[in-house]
Every structure is written in structure tokens, then in C-alpha cells.
Amino acid sequence: MSQADVGQVRDGYPEYMRESIAKVEATRAQRLKDGSPKAMTAEQREHVLQEWHPDYKADKKRALRVGPSKGDRMPHEVVDLLEAYPSIAASDIDLSSPDFEVQVLILGGGGAASVAALFAHEEGIPTEDLLMVSKLRHGDCNSVMAQGGIQAADRAPDSPAIHYLDVLGGGHYTNNPELVKALVNDGPLVIDWHEKLGALYDKVDGKYLEAHGGGTSRMRMHSAKDYTGLELMRVIRDEVRNVGITVIEFAPAVELLLDEAGHCAGAVLFNLETEEYVTVKASATVLATGGFGRLHIQGFPTTNHYGATADGLVMAYRAGVRVLDMDSVQYHPTGVAYPAAILGQLATEKLRNQGAEPVNIDGESFVFPLEPRDVEAAAIIRECYGNDKGVTTPSGIRGVWLDTPMIDAIHGPGTLKSRLAAMWMMWHRHGIDITKDPALVFPTLHYQNGGVEIDADARTTVPGLFAGGEVAGGVHGKNRLMGNSLLDYNVFGRRAGISAASWARANRAQTPSLKHVDAFAAELRSAGIKTERKAPMILPDYRREAVLERQLKILT
């Protein structure tokens, strides 16, 4: 589409989109009267997933050729990373006198890391024996970006048992039941802890305002407007500071250390400012490095922060930990499709749980708004590419409308701005008022469903190494439901902190080494893997060839 075709922009949208918006407006009153389409049957869900969900495209995956999960199929982008060569060898790093020596080392600066640090301290690890290190600033993470809410079954007619069934159903019954049990049973305790820390959850008459999420059979979504993640990180990060836990920022871990017994003995960090390696010997290490959104699997844009490059997966894999369910990727059904400046950013599921319904170019509703995420995403892709009923943006991306003005029509004027203040502002900055006009959306890469194998106490199979949050797999199986990840980072961050503290009290790390990294590189070579790629990635590189070329010319 040429610039001439785009024409004028009115209230944020190109003129040519107005014809479709008029159809959405024309059908709104009838749709409000009729209600949304019914939820799909199990067979219909399976059908749309098989036909349209990106995970079901066999040619987008291949089997891993090395390591403990050898043979498992996963997206090419993940295999590329797990089969990349280490950036350091044992001979590069002097481990004879580590720069830091602590009882518990926490890798990450997000929710799971902060919660783990707090509970390791509560379990008796003094602050001088506890160290948190983060790739970016403390709090620059996915946790802070979470919008919609956190699930917890804390009142009748709900119960942890019902929550358990929802989580298993959402995950296609591939979850580890022990992890799900821990997740749902700890839910009410987590909310209570947040309340004590001073988190301001939405309430009516002193009671939590709880809503549905996709795939939930009870209203158990607790939220702080549509910036729940920010509110939770506000109180949790404050608490880390109040307690006085040391956090080293801009110092990503690049490899784990193991001792002769095969126990985790700390990590090697890379100081992004001085470009020097830093060594930390630790009796227990917690991996809380988050997910992989910035791998842009199958070219999808992402909702994730810049640090989401799967570093933890790479490090743990080389240390011998299996990865689970890496064949499944969560594409959030509603990422922003227009305007291009915010492409792929999240249009929270809360918009749908408050009444906004997806509609096509002709203003027709085509899917129950709160299907599980994978099903909802597949239905939107089918509407755009199978039924050819999407709206094409000036940059050639297709999307469907999320009919946001329905929220005020259902709940009364002012509701959207009050309950979804961050959403309103995100589009408003680009001249679009989502209380008046619908929002154009398309699926976006959102969440790493799988991850490193842990047990219910957040132990990995490497003694002394614990993991929690998005880096870990098994909790959500092959599809996470909304609100269960904030719960996950709290439940397994807490369990990881407690387990790490008790391990560190009983065990001292012996002489650390990087021999396992050399052994992994040898395995790559003997599998015939030839690549220049190095991992962990640390930061994604968005420079295109043209930009790189210009830089080289400047330098010469």
C-alpha cells in the first residue's frame, strides 16, 4: 500500500480504515444485545489450533542435537540458541580467587528474583551473604509490565481445586501436577503477602474486585487497574531495598559454575559497563532470568522487555538441566497491530474480560472473547488469513478490531479510563481514543510456556541450582492462562528462595570450575554443529545491514 492509498489520518486512524470502523459501530448495538459467540467445543478448539496456531507448523521446528533434551523438537530460534557456542572457555576465566563469595546468589532483577531474595533472607541468610545480580536495572523486566492481573482462588464459590482444573485444562493436561498443586495452593498466601507489603489491589466495599480471564471457570483475577505488575514490583522491590539486599545491576550472568561434585557453585558475570568478567562463588544459586520473547520466534513482534533473551535456559542447559515443553510458545491474541510505533505491545486480556469483543473488517464478531490464549490467537489468525476478514495496515500487517467502546457501553461511561488507564494512555499518545474507536490487534509473542525442569520446591536436577518464574517449565504445560504467571513468579520465587537458603546452610560449594562449558562445546563440535553464533545472547541486536554498513563507513 502506498502513502497515497493511506490518505489522511483522522483521530489516529488512516481515512481508509474509517469505512470498516463505521461497520463496527453499526453492528455494536445488536452485538451488545445478542452477546458474544459461544465458547468453542473441545473439537473446534483442536481444529483451529491444528490449522492456524503457529506452534502447529512442523517446519518451524527442529530437534535438538545435543544436551540433556537431545531429540526434543522446538522452534528453530530456540535450537539456534541452545546449539550456539559459549562465549567463554574455562581457560579464559581465573577462578582461583572469586570476586564475590556468598551463600546465596540470585540471577535476575525481576519478580521471581526479588521474591527469592526476600525469602532467602527471611529463611536466615544475612544480607552480606546474599547477592542479586541483574542484566539491566533492578525492576527492568517482564514482571513490571504485567497489566491484567494475578489469579488466586481465595473465596467461594472458587477453590484451589477448581483453579487446579483450570490450569491443567489450559495447559492441555501436559503440566506437572505437583507444580500446579503448589501454584494454586499458595495463591491466597501470595495475595495476603502482597497486601501486607502495601500493594493496592482494586477493591469494592473492602473486597477484592475479581474478574474472569481466558479459560477460567471462576472470577479470581485480582488486579491493580491495568498496571498490576508495576504495582506488585513497586512493593516487592521496595522491600528488597528496605531489607538492604545488595543488587548489582548491568552485570548479566554468562555461565554457571559447577564444582567437582557437580553442584552449582555460582556464576560468571559480565559487567556491561567495564566489559570485564566478574566471578561469584555461591553455595546456592537461583536462576530467575525470565523468558525468551526477544527471540521473535517466527518473526512475531513481542510484548517482552529487552532482557528477555533466554540466557537462563542456555546456562542451565549447559550445566545439564533438561528443558520442558519448549515446543510451545505463547502468542498473546491481542498485540497492537496499529499504529506501527507500538506494534506488538500488549492489549491486555482485561480489555476482553471487561467486555471488548474481537470483530472483523465487516464488524462481525467471530470468536468467544475469552477462549484460552492459544485458541483465541489461532481464531484471530484464521479470521485474517483463512477468512480474509482482517484489516490491513499501511505497513502490510493484518489485524482485527477489539471493540473497546463496548466496555463503557456495558459498565457505564468512564469505566474504561478508570479500570484500564494504562491502555487508554498507550493509544491516546498516538491520537487514538479507545473509548470512542476500536483498537486494531493481532497476536504477538508473549510468553515462554516451557523452561528448565524444576520440582515443587523449585529445585533443578543440578544440586545447589534452583529456578523460578518464566525461566522454569512444567507449571503451565503447553499453554499458560492469564494471571498465572504473576502467581508463578511469587510462588516459585518464594519456594526457590526458601530451598536455596536451606541448601546453602547445609552445603558449602567446593572449588568452582567451567569444565562443563568446555565439555558442552566439545559435544557441539562432535555433533558436527558449525556456527558463529554465541550464547547467551544478553541483548537482541536490531541493527540492520544498512545500519551496520553506515557504522563501518563512519569508523573507517
Ligand X SMILES: Cc1cc2nc3c(=O)[nH]c(=O)nc-3n(C[C@H](O)[C@H](O)[C@H](O)COP(=O)(O)OP(=O)(O)OC[C@H]3O[C@@H](n4cnc5c(N)ncnc54)[C@H](O)[C@@H]3O)c2cc1C
Which residues form the catalytic set?
332, 352
In the bound state with ligand X, the residue whose beta carbon lies nearer, of 40 and 308, is: 308
Under the binding rule (CB under 6 A), the answer on residue 353 touching ligand X is: no
Inter-residue long-range contacts of 412-415, CB under 8 Å, 24+ positions, other chains counted: 415/354
Under the binding rule (CB under 6 A), the answer on residue 103 touching ligand X is: no
CA distance 147 to 170: 20
Least separation, in Å, of the C-beta of 514 and ligand X? 16
Question: Binding marks (x or -) toward ligand X, 240..259, rule CB under 6 A?
Answer: ------------xx------
Least separation, in Å, of the C-beta of 448 and ligand X? 8
Q: Where are the alpha helices (DSSP H) in 123-213?
A: 160-170, 177-197
Under the binding rule (CB under 6 A), the answer on residue 474 touching ligand X is: no
Residue among 21, 49, 82, 107 that touches ligand X (CB under 6 A): 107
Least separation, in Å, of the C-beta of 556 and ligand X? 33
Q: Which residues pair with 151 in a beta bridge?
A: 221
Least separation, in Å, of the C-beta of 305 and ligand X? 6
With beta carbons less than 8 A apart as the criterion, state whether 103 and 130 touch: yes
With beta carbons less than 8 A apart as the criterion, state whether 353 and 370 touch: yes
Residue among 224, 486, 498, 517 that touches ligand X (CB under 6 A): 486
How would you label 169-204 residue by residue, b for 16+ Cβ within 10 Å and e otherwise?
bbbbebbbeebbbbbbbbbeebbebbeeeebebbee
Bridging pattern class, strands 61-63 and 73-75? antiparallel
Q: Which residues pair with 113 in a beta bridge?
A: none
For the chain, what's the residue count? Answer: 556
Q: Which residues pair with 266 in a beta bridge?
A: 257, 281
In the bound state with ligand X, the residue whose beta carbon lies nearer, of 344 and 464, is: 344
Under the binding rule (CB under 6 A), the answer on residue 335 touching ligand X is: no
SS3 category, 293: helix
| C-beta neighbour count of 126 within 10 angstroms | 10
With beta carbons less than 8 A apart as the criterion, state whether 467 and 458 touch: yes
Under the binding rule (CB under 6 A), the answer on residue 449 touching ligand X is: no
Question: Binding marks (x or -) toward ligand X, 495..534, rule CB under 6 A?
Answer: ----------------------------------------
Residue among 36, 354, 484, 490 that touches ligand X (CB under 6 A): 484
Residue among 103, 147, 285, 499 that touches ligand X (CB under 6 A): 147
Under the binding rule (CB under 6 A), the answer on residue 451 touching ligand X is: no
CA distance 544 to 547: 5
Under the binding rule (CB under 6 A), the answer on residue 483 touching ligand X is: yes
Residue among 12, 110, 344, 473 that touches ligand X (CB under 6 A): 110
Peptide bond into 98 cis (omega under 30): no
| Number of amino acids touching ligand X (CB under 6 A) | 45
Q: Considering only CA atoms, which of 134, 154, 153, 156 is closest in space to residue 144?
A: 134
In the bound state with ligand X, the residue whose beta carbon lies nearer, of 141 and 440, is: 141
End-to-end CA distance of the chain: 38
Question: Binding marks (x or -) toward ligand X, 293..322, rule CB under 6 A?
Answer: ----------xx--xx--x-----------
Residue among 36, 69, 176, 289 that touches ligand X (CB under 6 A): 289
In the bound state with ligand X, the residue whose beta carbon lies nearer, of 84 and 409, is: 84
Residues forming the site for ligand X (CB under 6 A): 107-113, 133-136, 140-143, 145-150, 228-229, 252-253, 288-290, 303-304, 307-308, 311, 346, 447, 469-471, 482-486, 489, 536
